[in-house]
A and B are shown apart, each in its own frame.
Chain A
Amino acid sequence: MTTNETGTHGAVLADRAPEKDSPVVELRNAGKAYGNIRALHGVSLTVHPGQVTCVLGDNGAGKSTLIKIISGLHQHTEGEFLVDGEPVRFSTPREALDKGIATVYQDLAVVPLMPVWRNFFLGSEMTKGPWPLRRLDIERMKKTADHELREMGIVLDDLEQPIGTLSGGQRQCVAIARAVYFGARVLILDEPTAALGVKQSGVVLKYVAAARDRGLGVIFITHNPHHAYMVGDHFSVLRLGTMELSAERSQITLEELTNHMAGGAELAALKHELSQVRGVDVEELPEEADLTAPVAVTKEAAS
């Protein structure tokens, strides 16, 4: 787990090809209750290599709960959870990691005060030397981290700087590069763009696409349908803990997705309200939104 640089990574690349079509991760009618709070119920989801599965939903819809099951932080209380077709039940994140399921958390799973390179290798440090003197192979870790980050297009002057001094987007990218390096087959991203500006979101989306192109199955959690539609192959919408929609990209337009997200009726009401208050050209709303981030709409309204 510690000293091999290419082991898991290489092995995964080698035997992924034949099972291209079978899902790596699958949920069948899975659910989760926190005591008597039913956070998730009857959710089915498949993740294929080289594809981005988007999970959308409002705050509290159960998105984080869903990925916590897959990443081993929580256990499902109903239904089935399969990895490579085998039913599993993870009790620690380590077990999920060992199956190649890596998660970039909403709160980023980094230790802000620790240097970038230490964060990159945290929990899977490279070592050298026999036991009583076994020590970190600092030089190799720094070189590898630098190389891997450059590979993903992230250039940092100083890997010794605390990761907390990086911007939110940079931190996300380091976390993604880290997961890719450690041979993840499935990459889970919990609202990676939630706290980011337009441009930084674009950077993160680019790395999501890069990870997908390397053959990883990606689960992309977001409540922004525009971001989802830019990279997604499959869309699942959660509402109050149940699956409201599950559709392939070919079956759905961005407008329909946005409608599902907001709830068709609610959106209609919102449109009506906006037209009353500000005289916004409501017919334009979805089209505008197609091309740019929602910020653009506000600007249109303001001018």
Chain B
Amino acid sequence: MTQHAEPAVTSPPAPGLKDTDGRSAERSMIVRLLARPDVGVFLGAVAVYVFFLIAAPPVRDASSMANILYQSSTLGIVTVPVALLMIGGEFDLSAGVGVITSALTASMTAYQLSMNVWVGVIAALIASLAIGFFNGWMVVKTGLPSFLVTLGSFLILQGVNLAVTKLVTGNVATDDISTMDGFDQAKKVFASSFDIGGVQVKITVFWWLLFAAIATWVLLRTKYGNWIFAVGGNRESARAVGVPVAFTKISLFMLVGVGAWFVGMHQLFSFNTVQSGEGVGIELIYISGAVIGGCLLTGGAGSAIGPVFGAFMFGMVQQGIVYAGWNPDWFKAFLGVMLLGAVLINLWVQRTATRR
């Protein structure tokens, strides 16, 4: 009894500075590598790709791959800013209908005013930025969870999309704008295709990869990126050391607005008209893509490159099922399984990182 108590008083074997270092060095390279959020999803994407290469022979075609990448890019362009927002500790449930709001704004502004379509494009950008600002401002000022605030704006936008379109055009879709001034030029920017070795590749694929590359650079190499991790990881600590929390959060919501605007413009200039009831449910795909891409649902960890693989997995599964000749109804089930798998890995990473 006394023998046990004695050392505890004189000199408790509390870990000194050196001891702790020795231990952390022992953590193996493999564990560290796997703890990187983007490595896990990369392996997942490779697995899904190989699976469909075997299960669905048409996938081996270059044109099928171009199609898969196109599908992925229309999701991925919004998933990238949604991922940044998630790293910053917030959600945006209004991003899916926000895409449609943006497209409707551009289309109706240009058509009703009989102006160059670029006027509509700018108006749509302003509208998307305003929606993002509203979401961010509400979240920062009220302290309400962004889940609630953006659920509100999701419902508002869904209703406004339908009602205003009906009011202005008397229809559920907007009028065809393909003959208006500036249309061809805008289509080049948002919805053209490139010929690469005889395969048509949509321009959105390049935009998607470019945006992801810029986001990665911003996240890891700039002050703003540092702030994104900080406001998501521990908002109060960030504020206490002088990080502009409100600015960071509001601007992240506005970036999601920019992503939604871009995809909205792509849809408008691909299809010439916009269906006002679309976009519902897509917001959850964006969020799933970010989570599968290794972004921590609670904020503070993640990457911009992981969600690229996340979006690719979605595009791959969506098209792969079709190429394999299976019932497309399986798509959502696949998504669910991938999402749960990714969440479990995230959980493990978080525990590894905070364990002493």
Contacts and interface: CB of A to CB of B under 8 A. Distances in A.
A64 to B, nearest CB: 13
A164 B242 contact: no
Interface string B330-356: 000000000000000000001001111
Given A114-B233, A123-B238, A134 B222 contact: yes
Nearest to A292: B9
B24 A157 contact: yes
B8 A165 contact: no
A155 B300 contact: no
Contacts of B353: 112-113, 162, 164-165
Contact of B230 (A122, A200, A295): A122
B239 interface: yes
Contacts of A121: 226
Given A111-B237, A303-B2, A296 B354 contact: no
B21 A109 contact: no
B21 A113 contact: no
Where chain B touches its partner, the secondary structure class is: helix
Given A161-B24, A165-B354, A198 B12 contact: yes
B21 A111 contact: no
B167 interface: no
A167 B240 contact: no
Interface stretch (A81-89, A100-108, A248-256, A279-287): A100-108
A75 B241 CA distance: 17
Interface in B275-330: 296, 300-301
Contacts of B14: 197-200
Interface string B226-251: 10011001101111111100000000
B12 A111 contact: no
Contacts of A107: 236-237
A151 interface: no
Interface string B1-15: 110011011011011
Contacts of B234: 109-112
Contacts of A199: 11-12, 14, 16
B12 A197 contact: yes
B141 interface: no
A112 B229 CA distance: 10
B356 A162 contact: no
Contacts of B11: 199
Nearest to A153: B17
A155 B18 contact: yes
Given A134-B222, A295-B8, A165 B355 contact: yes
Interface in A186-227: 197-200, 203
Contacts, number: 133
Contact of B226 (A136, A158, A170, A203): A136
Contacts of A122: 226, 230, 237-238, 241, 243
B9 to A, nearest CB: 5
B24 to A, nearest CB: 6
Given A111-B234, A112-B233, A197-B14, A93 B21 contact: no
Size category, A interface: 35 or more
B228 to A, nearest CB: 11
Interface string A13-39: 000000000000000000000000000
A123 B241 contact: yes
A166 B355 CA distance: 9
A124 interface: yes
B179 interface: no
B9 A113 contact: no
B21 A156 contact: yes
A203 B221 CA distance: 34
Contact of B25 (A92, A97, A158, A170): A158
B216 to A, nearest CB: 12
A124 B242 contact: yes
Interface in A113-162: 113-114, 118, 121-125, 127, 134-136, 138, 154-158, 161-162
B120 to A, nearest CB: 28
A73 interface: yes
Nearest to A112: B354
Contacts of B226: 114, 118, 121-122, 125, 136
Nearest to A178: B241
A77 interface: no
A94 interface: yes
Contacts of B223: 2, 125, 127, 134, 136
A136 B242 contact: no
Nearest to B16: A199
A299 interface: yes
Nearest to B218: A135
Contact of B241 (A109, A154, A161, A166): A109
A167 B233 contact: no
Contact of B240 (A105, A113, A295, A302): A105
12 contacts: A97-B242, A105-B240, A111-B238, A113-B300, A118-B229, A122-B230, A125-B226, A134-B223, A135-B222, A164-B353, A165-B356, A167-B15
A-B interface, 8 closest residue pairs, ranked by CB to CB distance from nearest: A123-B242, A111-B233, A123-B241, A199-B14, A109-B237, A164-B354, A94-B242, A135-B221
